[in-house]
């Protein structure tokens, strides 16, 4: 288990049924992407679902999961751009969506190098003051962002800056 997921498990109970089983090698071959180690560990421990009915986490396709849409219906298409500037993966410097908030924020990896563990996490916040940048880089990985959002005191880049609840709850797609 990845060290950040171990920390998350200490404050956010995984679902009783466990996480999702993903054939990561097949995903890499079919879509040409290797995901960060913390994300793979998160998916294996928690699977797709939502934290505190606030932050949703998508996964690669998993039969039956409404959260298994991370990779869409087929291989990625080059040449598409986010309305606010970044190209989408697989284009160089592209972004790849992995999560979202109920306030309309989206969480991405900024895929700037070959090593996915070095990708920057970016949050696109829809609710910003006039003139403020919608893109908020986070100084850590995907699971570290989840930790910051529910407990560790670091500012979360999501629009709602308050902690979602005193005791956070993860709801798996199997339990919805």
Summarised one tens digit per residue, pLDDT across range 110-154 is 999 999 999 999 999 877 666 677 889 998 999 999 998 887 556
Calculate the average pLDDT of the chain: 84
> What percentage of the chain reaches a pLDDT higher than 90?
46
Task: Write down the pLDDT at residue 74.
Answer: 41
Task: Write down the pLDDT at residue 134.
Answer: 82
> Are the C-beta atoms of residues 156 and 149 closer than 8 Å to each other?
yes
Task: Write down the pLDDT at residue 81.
Answer: 61
Mean pLDDT of the 45-74 span: 81
User: What Rg, from alpha-carbon coordinates, does the chain have?
Assistant: 15
Quick check: pTM over 0.95? no
Determine the Cα–Cα distance for residues 60 and 113; give it in Å rounded to an integer: 21
Domain ranges of the chain: 3-175
DSSP letter, residue 65: -
Q: Does the pLDDT value for residue 16 go beyond 90?
A: yes
Mean pLDDT of the 83-101 span: 85
């Amino acid at each position: 288990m990845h060290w950040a997921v171990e920390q998350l498990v200490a404050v956010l109970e995984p679902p009783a049924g466990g996480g999702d089983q993903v054939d990561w090698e097949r995903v890499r071959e079919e879509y040409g992407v290797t995901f960060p180690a913390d994300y793979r560990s998160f998916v294996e421990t928690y699977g797709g679902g939502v934290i505190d009915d606030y932050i949703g986490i998508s996964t690669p396709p998993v039969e039956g999961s409404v959260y298994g849409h991370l990779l869409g219906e087929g291989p990625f298409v080059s040449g598409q751009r986010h309305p606010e500037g970044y190209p989408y993966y697989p284009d160089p410097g592209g972004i790849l969506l992995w999560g979202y908030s109920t306030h309309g924020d989206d969480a991405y990896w900024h895929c700037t190098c070959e090593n996915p563990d070095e990708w920057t996490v970016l949050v696109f916040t829809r609710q910003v003051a006039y003139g403020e940048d919608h893109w908020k880089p986070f100084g850590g990985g995907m699971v570290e962002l989840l930790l910051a959002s529910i407990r560790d005191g670091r500012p979360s880049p999501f629009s709602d800056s308050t902690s979602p609840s005193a005791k956070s709850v993860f709801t798996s797609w199997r339990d919805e």
